[in-house]
Amino acid sequence: PRQAFIRDLSSFIAKLLLAGHDIILGGDFNESLADKNSALMGIVTRHNRTDPFLARFPHHRSFGTHTLGNRRIDSVYVTPGLLPSLRNIGYAPFEYATPSDHRPLFLEFNTHGLFG
């Protein structure tokens, strides 16, 4: 099922890009880009996605986004053209917004820059 999901997601993203759309893809991917044979890495590289957290904080030490882990498995990837409109990005502490075993990820965009 995971391989089918990745294949379908990749196909969907390709169609959106061909139509000229910018994309924000985020989620609990249960893998990091550093994982061996990362399917997520395939989508990110195939469709030229940018990790805005790493773009903003390229030297940030690694950390876990799940209480039982030490990897960033919750992340967001954007079309590079969206980066100039990104005002802020960051991960909040566990249980900041809701009782969850995952850290919330916040993005703040300049809406005028994003939508014109």
Distance in angstroms (rounded) separating the CA atoms of residues 18 and 102: 33
pLDDT of the residue at 102: 95
**Torsions phi, psi of 35, nearest 5?**
-65, 140
Q: Residue with structure tokens 């391989």?
A: 3
pLDDT of the residue at 113: 86
Kindly tell me if the per-residue pLDDT of 2 is higher than 90.
no
pLDDT of the residue at 91: 96
Cβ–Cβ under 8 Å, residues 31 and 42: no
* Ramachandran sector of residue 108 (left: φ over 0; alpha: ψ -120 to 50; beta: rest): beta
Tell me the average pLDDT of the chain: 93
**Could you report the per-residue pLDDT of 6-55, keeping only the tens digit for each?**
999 999 999 999 999 999 999 999 888 888 888 888 899 999 899 999 99
Report the DSSP beta bridge partners of residue 86.
109
* pLDDT band at 70; cut points 50, 70, 90: very high
Report the DSSP beta bridge partners of residue 90.
106
Instruction: Please give the model's pTM, rounded to 2 decimal places.
Output: 0.90
